A = this chain, B = another copy of it.
Amino acid sequence: MPRIRHERFDCSPGCTVEGTLRYIDGKWKGVVLYHLFEGTLRFNEIRRRIPNCTQRMLTNQLRELEADGLIARKIYAEVPPKVEYSLTPRGRSLEPVITALKIWGDANVTLAPEVSQAAA
């Protein structure tokens, strides 16, 4: 089980910052949330949008987001299984945060696929 890690934040002021980070941290959560801002998606729709994420990891991240009350999981009792994920109001309230992250990232993060060739 992914373990809830936001049990205590007794460090100092500014820790709600860390607290928020614990919600959206986790390799794929930011991207998942980002895609869900567009609207409700099925499991495999999300998968296809994040090809580098393994099925196991995606399930993990979704479960944690769900446990944190950020996304809702709706299961349809159909025969080819159908599960839809959508943001809860709480999840949607993260939009300004994600937006702030994206704005800074667009300005400051270099998405350079060719950098990794340096060692060759």
Query: When each residue 79-120 of chain A gets 1 if its CB lies under 8 Å from chain B and 0 otherwise, what string results?
Result: 000000000001001101111111111111111110110000
- Number of A residues near B (Cβ < 8 Å) is 53
Docked complex Cα distance between A2 and B106 (Å): 24
Confirm or deny: A45 has a beta carbon within 8 angstroms of a beta carbon on chain B.
no
Q: A31 near B17 (CB under 8 angstroms)?
A: yes
Within 8 A of B (CB), among A11-68: 11-21, 23-25, 27-28, 30-31, 34-35, 49-53
Which A residues lie at the B interface, using CB under 8 A? 6-21, 23-25, 27-28, 30-31, 34-35, 49-53, 90, 93-94, 96-113, 115-116
Q: What are 23 inter-chain pairs, A to B, with CB distance below 8 A?
A: A7-B116, A9-B109, A10-B113, A11-B50, A11-B52, A14-B34, A15-B31, A16-B104, A16-B106, A16-B109, A17-B105, A18-B105, A19-B109, A19-B111, A20-B101, A20-B102, A21-B24, A23-B109, A25-B25, A96-B104, A97-B103, A97-B104, A100-B101
